[in-house]
Structure 1
Amino acid sequence: MLPAFFNAFWKSCLAGRHMLQRSVLCCLFLLALLPGFASAGELKLLAHQSEYPLGKSLHFIEDRSKSLRIEQLRDPAAFKAQQWKPVNAAVPNFGYSLSSFWFYVDVDHASIQPEPWILEVAYPLLDSVDVYFEANGKITRAYHTGDHEPFSVRPVDHRYFLFPLMLDKPGKTRIWMRVASTGTMQVPVTLWRTSTFIEQDQRHNMLQAAYVGMMAVMLLYNLFILFSIRERSYAFYAAYVLVVTTMLMTLHGFGYQFLWPHSVWWQDKSMAFLVAASVLCVALFTEHFLLLHKHLPRLSRGLRLMAWLVFGAMVASLFLPYSLMIRVAVALALVIALTSFVAGLLVAGKGERSGWYFVAAWGSFLCGIGMLALNKFGVLPRTWFTEYGIQLGSMFEVIVLSYALADRINGEKRARFQAQQRALNEAQQRQQAESRMLYQSVHDRLTGVPNRVMLQVVGSDLLADIRARGRSAAVVMVHLKNFHEINNTLGHQIGDGLLQNIVKRLQRLAVEMPGSLPIERGDRGRGSFHCANIEGVSYAIVAEIDSAESIHHDAEQLINGMREPFRYMDMSLDIGALLGIALFPHHGDEFDSLLRYAEIAIEVAQKSETGVAIYSSGLNPYSARRLTLMGDLRDALNAEQLELYFQPKINIRTGSVVGAEALLRWHHPMHGFVTPDQFVPLAEQTGLIKPLTRWVIERAVKEMAGWHRQGIQIGVSINISARNLREVNFGEQIQDLLQRYGVSPNWLTLEVTETAMMEDRDAALRVLTAIHRSGIRISVDDFGVGYSSLAYLSQLPISELKIDKGFIFDMDRKGGEDVIVRTTINMAHDLRLQAVAEGVESEMAYNRLRAFGCDLVQGYHISRPLPPKPFLQWLNNGGWRVDRLPLRQAS
């Protein structure tokens, strides 16, 4: 059979004008044509050559009906009737086809020595392979095998299809071959000398073993990481390494040879299943390794959807035809691989190192996948790169991603170390802040001298020591006589600086006083303190004495030192001082009583020429007044002479009024305004605190119910005493009041000081827990000035911490309070509590608290305490937002 262009050329030769010309042209044509016939239909074996790729020597026909048999093709007439075509390619590749293909090639072995040869079909996924060797018009050998046949029927136990051919006599042998497959139809056929094939096959097996060994090492490495840190991305990657290695072993025939040689069904299904499984692992690993849910949430959702599709394809591959599912699996592999590569680029664009590692790894692997896929679809011929590109790409990918995983572990270690370092720094800062808070709780914030809290503790110990030694002592109280007038005239800023200088002189004079005892011993280069602040501008000194006369004389020396003018800012200021003295054990043996007696003596000293007075029971002007106030307080409670004032609480984030603190006021007809500090202790001592607290709660709840009826949705905070926490039915009484006025419990907040809670921890915890369970909120008032521990606070059912106003007052003047306030706010938030600041009296303090993240504030900057009607007017016209509901209709 000659092609058409050969016939045309032949006719042109015969059409020459001269016989010689025609003869020369015909001879040249025939000479040129002979080698072509040898390469297209016949292969001549040479003595020095051991490997013959048969692709370009093959002729083929396509049997669409799959009905042709070898007997039909061997018949000369039938042979000529078939339209045999040359392959003209190194490897016959027909893509996905359901036809069967017949091939033949004539092998001329006349010039070689007799020896065994091997016919190799190096594609293990062909369903059916029939090989016939014909010599001298007879079929000398016939073989039938394929991956739809048991592995045991193969002529040679090998991953590829091998057919032994013994060329023991000079002559020609025709090789017939029939191939059918539901997968890709590619037929790489090579004729080998047996010895050469064994050498080449050993080298190839060594390379495959090295590849599998390296992948096994990477698998074990990632499994070790998985078991160490238990992160799912490593599980997906380890599964991916395992599946890809198994898939490539199957692609090269090792799976059927070593793993499942007796399972024909699984051999048919395995390739599509493993491709889909590897794609599923890729999708899941990409989503978790690149943290797509964090960086690219929409792409993450899309990749998860594709993962479900791949999972469906993986399951379907076990039931649907291989020819369909291998195409679906390869197509999904390309889509997801490209999607993963794009995801890596996008994540890398966000500055993530993991994205760059991912791009480098998948870029190399995509090349191998692309070449393999195009080869499967018949676009690219079967070459070494299309056959082994995926191994090279996967090796590079596994190495890079394993390094990326290791780098990620190191990054996480660095992040954990940095987090631990930050936590340690925060803990140190918190410890320093707590130490500062503790220091501030027992020291005067302005002058730094010990305050009343420390004095009461140390003073009792000093008296116990003096009692043990049989000695006497005096408690000396010093009150700065004219300081308030000067402070009001010159202003608080100048007054603070002046007071610091005054206390320095007082401290020096106290040290010089004979017998004075240190209230706090110095450390870290700081001297001892011999005086303590009681309240305001009143200070106390404790001295060991010989007699009342000696302490009186020493007190006059001290007061003379305080009378000397103070030079401050080019001004000479006369402060003056008053001294009150109480003697131990003559006037009493309790330190608190001695302090109170010394304070009484101060009142007497105001009328004294020397400014010094020693307490005596006959000089106590408070006894009658105290008794009068006790009786008058009971009358005022029964006669409704007490008043409730309300100070608003603001949500600093929204600027809205969320509540108000109820404050009790008493205007005595004779003594005028009596402060709560004066009559509340009387109520606690006489037992009036119980009805007094109930009166306050009932009036506050009644006012709150009225606000709610008008649509004003705010709550009320009420201070309660330590004595209230000892009442058995205290919580039930409050619930009855709330039910009576129709107010929900969550609108009421009870404020308890740290000191009140610490008097009886167990009782406080029990009562407050019962109140909290009813829905009422609990607040810790004046936080920072008591001794409560964080461990105890964490056990209490509290909702908020109320920072002591002293810290807020000093924010504008001393930077250290900024740290304390900020730390207290952060601590409250760490305990899931609201932070409330009282005493906010300036715009600067308000802005700082907002910057610190404080939740609620109250103080004169917002509004002073107001009676009910003015408070309601302020709510309506105060300029702050108030949450309102539609007005309730009268029933």
Structure 2
Amino acid sequence: MKPGMRKFSSASPSAADLGKLRVAPGVDRRRPSTGRSAGTSWRRGGVWLTGLAAVTVLGASAASITSLQQVAEQRSELRILLNEFKAAAWQQDALRSEAMLARGLPSELADAREEIDDTVDTIGARFDRQDPDSSHTKAIHDAYLAYDTAADREFQLLKYEDLQGAEETAAAQTDPAFAALLPVLEDADGDYEALAEQASGRARTGTVVILACAALLIMGLVWQAQRIRARALRRATHQATHDALTGLPNRTLLRERTAAAIDRPRQDGTGTALLLIDLDRFKEVNDTLGHHYGDQLLVQAAHRMQQAVRSGETVARLGGDEFAVLLPSIAGEPDVTAVAARLHEALNAPFTLDGLTLTVAGSIGAALHPHHGDTADELLQRADIAMYTAKGKRIGYTVFDHSQDSTDPRKLTLASDLRQGIEQDQLVLHYQPKVDTRTGKVLGAEALVRWQHPEHGLIPPTEFIPLAEHTGLITPLTRFVLDTALRQCQEWLRDGHELSVAVNVSTHRLLDLDFPAEVADRLQYWQLPAHLLTVEITESAIMTDPDRALHVVQQLHALGVHLSIDDFGTGYSSMAYLKTLPVHELKIDRTFVGSMTTSDRDAVIVRSTAELGRNLGLRVIAEGVEDMATWQVLDAAGCDALQGYYISRPVTADAFATWLRHQRGAPAAIAP
């Protein structure tokens, strides 16, 4: 801002600050539609007609002013100034409304904000030049600054999606500031009228009219801005609490309504129930027909569920193909079962999607308050367990029962303890060696995570890995395993053992586009060559989203990381992708290896897999080797490396170092 200029809104965020905002997922970044209702068009048109009338009257007045040249020049300057202010104010409010609707600011809007800032600076300077000592000049600045600052505070709250805070700010600050601005404008109008009295009657009349029109213009623009902001706030609030595709309440609103239903006093003995619904064959539709059909299916399923419930009961979409139904007032389990049966029947009826007829079933789990939980989160967790029970048993729907296997209280406790276990270093890695089939030379080790629970002792991964995947803790868990394994690999290298280390990666991490960058960062931190790290992935993880998995695998390959398909032969439909995946090795699953000396079928599978690997130029590793006879058969079949209890059980890092010192490099020297 140039020296001497007073900016109208010095507390406004800069264009750089506004440019940091991001548009929320699912929000259209384009400018709002120009389609308006008749009422809106009339109101908006009224503001501009007022401005046109003011300019027309001013022109007529100016023609009659011949003697008071100074007053005429001042009036002309006011006309230009007020018109420019009108344009700047309108642009500023239009920009705010777009940013509020988007809860962010694209680059084109950020550039527009810079231009508006420059215009407001210029207007402030011209106000000062025209009447720098006038009290009403300062009053206009101060009142508009207060109003604009409050509006910007709303903008910042919306930036962080604090819709409640934005509403409170509007009620407590922006609206009062607007109310305070109006009398300031009226006082300024009176002052300008007094100034106009010094001129001739005609000049005075012209000046009074233009100043009154200017005040009316500003008041109209501010009122219009208030309407735009209120409408945008309502729309932003709806977007934050509803699903964009189906229009249903989302997880946030469902939790609020569930908590309110639980807390409501009851005299009739009723309770609250929460049902969780998962579409059984949605992924098949999405993968086979495409997302367009999948979206249609979700919309139709949402409509059917709404038709199956009563007024006052909430159908919500939690994400993907997962829905929930809140029954705020239910007599008991039989009524819940009846609702679940209606929902199940509605979802079992055929769907018609662009002329195609499809049948998609649903699995439903239910939980009741106070029998199964005291909070919204507890009810959702119990309903989730019941839903998976219904899906696993293929029974359509079921109500949560403490006798269900998956509702073991110990597992529920472990789920809540796992985060603390990761943060407090309760997890440890064990290492199981891999050896060369022909020479017995140690090639490396697979890192296997264990949980040393302070109360339950050593917990195997089969118990807590599914919990980590279900609760979202798989990301910090994988990060811990990767970092610890690379540190151990670096210690082996420092001790003169160039051994690779293998880390298992879950489906969640394999589909995480940020995972390759995380691997690159840890390799650089530990100063390790990438080929000493092997990432083990499963066929089923690849087939969950082949295109996305291929993208991640290609990035890992570009780093120089070795890639292994774990449990090969137990997945499905992977042969078509095997030729395109840049993998280095196949691991034959222990279910085939363990019985190959007694089962001809398993022996054929192992030999065929080994031959397939050789023909593709891949190293083949057999896991589950538990005796010398199996070792010898695998050697004859052409397997390159072995892993199993006959060689060594998974052991701690210290025990692995001791085991390593006692090896002589020959099969006969390796103890069980």
**TM-score range for the pair, normalised by the shorter chain length:** 0.3 to 0.5
Decide which structure has greater strand share.
Answer: 1
Decide which structure has greater helix share.
Answer: 2
Higher Rg of the two aligned structures: 1
Comparing both chains, which one has the higher relative contact order based on Cα–Cα distances under 8 Å and sequence gaps of 6 or more?
2
- Relative to the length of structure 1, the TM-score reads 0.31
